[in-house]
Amino acid sequence: MQRERISTVKGHRYRQIVKSVWDSEKKRSRTVVVKHLGPVVEDRAGKLRTSIRIDGVEKACQAGHLALYYTIAREFSLDTCLQQISQDDNVANALMALIFNQLNNHKPLTKIGPWLNETPIARWMGIEGNTFTKDVLSHALDSICFTKGDVTTKYTHAIQKLASAQWQSKVGMDPAHYYFYYDVARIRYHGTHCPLAEPGYGPIAKGRPHIGFGLITSKNNHFPIYSTTIKGSIHDSVTFKEIADNLAAWDMCGLTMIMDRGIMNKKTTMYARENELHVLGGCMETSDEVKNAIRLWNDDEIEKSTQVFLRASEGEIYYYGWRGKLYGEDGLLVITMDPERRTRERGTRDRLLYRMRNDKTTLGKNDIRKELGKIVVPSVGRTGWRIDSDAETDARRADGRFLLFTTDTKMTPEEVVGAYYQRDEIEKAFRDMNGAGSMGPIRYRLPNHVDPYLTVICHLAYLIRMGIQWKLKKAKRAESVDQVVEILQEINEVILTSKDKNITKWTNLTKEQESLVKLFKLNELIPRY
């Protein structure tokens, strides 16, 4: 068996690889030198280092941030989740390679293998990067989502469930009133025809194919729980039935789902209650019961110092809550009133009415009448119109107001307002996934590739980023995820060539980098020399 030793010759120390051999003449073993590694000297700290002749630099790679991604992925056992579902180490490794690529540079499939070999990821994972061809990576996606005949089999949600269990075992469940945020993003599709890409709803949908992506995140740390792909033509609210059914199948009953007003409606509420889920969301003025609820209370009943809520960036709002019924379900209704928005809306209406009375051109008046709606009605006489005072009073009564509703009657009005106006966290999640962990461009055409790409690769990439954020929050650090990545990105792994072998070195660390390496426990991957 070979071993390393330090020998002293004429007062100088040398590192050697030696082994024991049997001396048949002397009838005993003796030590022979297999390889000389070079002289040993002491650095300023008194540590031994080897003086080796360096012939050149084979390659250098920004790798500190990769060490961060790899460490967080291992901490949450994402590789184990993928292996457990796929039952194939090669598939699990290929999916992890896609996740790291998603986090780092989003290269096309044909370039991922060569990129892996240029990074330490291949060494850390114990793989040969060049074996991860386009076909191998495509096969990995096919393994977790495939169609035989008319039957489509998907293991994507099983992977999500395992991953959720992993982060919950580390982070813990959210406290009382355990609730999640749900929303749908629309991703423009620029490739050739994909059955999931269709024109439909949302600001990007006008005449352009896109794919919907529904995401549920936890309240406190914004970890992803569940995600799904949605055909571009399907309205956001329709997707909730499938989601409610799946959450029930996961035994996740009793949760409160917080959603935007574009999703909240009678059907959504019904689906939720059928699956023992609660809903909380804003209500659009598309029904008489919502319109009546918004106008039920006077301003002085709402605008009280004991009923004020301070939003993080948009100032204060007032609220008033009461038990009642909406969408056929018992619950808690809460009116919110934004004083600034009320002033703007009333000012805009008053200016339009002023112009209506004083504008001499018929064209101008017609445009104004369209904006004022039911407030201006036809009338006999010189002007041909009049102000409907009841309609104006009704409109003024609704200025600055918004209706919230939840079936979770254990919540207080203040908790309802706080939960809803913190929903921007999931909007931040979508911004994150469309930014650093960008979901687009979607480089796939087949639904069985697009689906696992969004619901596994992007989903788990986002989980890793939220894992970084969670550790920063725990350590009470002020840096954002992007700032940490940028700092660690400047740590380079350098492969040096010498006569006998290649030597791996890491660039010297700044104090800031050292602090982050210690916080995230990256020392094993980024050793100090």
pLDDT digits (tens, 9 = 90+) for 397-436: 999 999 999 999 989 999 999 888 877 656 666 666 655 5
Give the model's pLDDT for residue 447: 86
Residue 140's alpha-carbon distances to 87, 145, 467, in angstroms, are 11, 9, 25
Give the model's pLDDT for residue 46: 47
Taking 70 as the threshold, does the pLDDT of residue 469 lie above it? Answer: yes
Cβ-based neighbour number of residue 406 at 10 Å: 30
Residue with tokens 């291949």: 122
Strands 151-154 and 145-148: antiparallel
Q: How many CA atoms lie within 13 A of 206 on its CB side?
A: 1
Whether the CB-CB separation of 516 and 484 falls below 8 Å is answered with: yes
State how far the Cα of 526 lies from the Cα of 468, in Å rounded to an integer. 17
State how far the Cα of 365 lies from the Cα of 353, in Å rounded to an integer. 10
Tell me how far apart the 2 most distant CA atoms of the chain are, in Å. Answer: 131
Sign, Cα dihedral of 360, 366, 370, 375: positive
pLDDT digits (tens, 9 = 90+) for 128-162: 888 999 999 999 999 999 888 888 888 999 999 99
Sign, Cα dihedral of 462, 312, 471, 526: positive
pLDDT digits (tens, 9 = 90+) for 5-45: 777 766 666 667 667 776 677 666 677 777 666 666 554 44
pLDDT digits (tens, 9 = 90+) for 297-324: 999 999 999 999 988 777 899 999 999 9
Long-range contacts of 43-48 (CB under 8 A, 24+ apart): 48/6, 48/13
Which token pair is 482? 């992007």
Contacts of 415 (CB under 8 A, 6+ apart): 177
pLDDT digits (tens, 9 = 90+) for 487-501: 999 998 888 777 667
Alpha helices, DSSP H, located in 307-359: 339-358
Closest CA to 420 of 174, 182, 171: 182
Taking 90 as the threshold, does the pLDDT of residue 177 lie above it? Answer: no
Task: Report the 3 state secondary structure along 361-416.
Answer: CHHHHHHHHHHHHHHEEECCCCCCEEECHHHHHHHHHHCCEEEEEECCCCCCHHHH
Contacts of 516 (CB under 8 A, 6+ apart): 68, 484, 487, 488, 522
Which token pair is 356? 């209506």
Provide the b/e sequence for 69-107 (b: ≥16 CB within 10 Å).
bbbbbebbbbbebbbebbeeebbbbbbbbbbbbbbbeee
Give the model's pLDDT for residue 155: 93
pLDDT digits (tens, 9 = 90+) for 49-73: 555 555 566 677 889 999 999 999 9
Write down the pTM of the prediction.
0.76
Contacts of 305 (CB under 8 A, 6+ apart): none
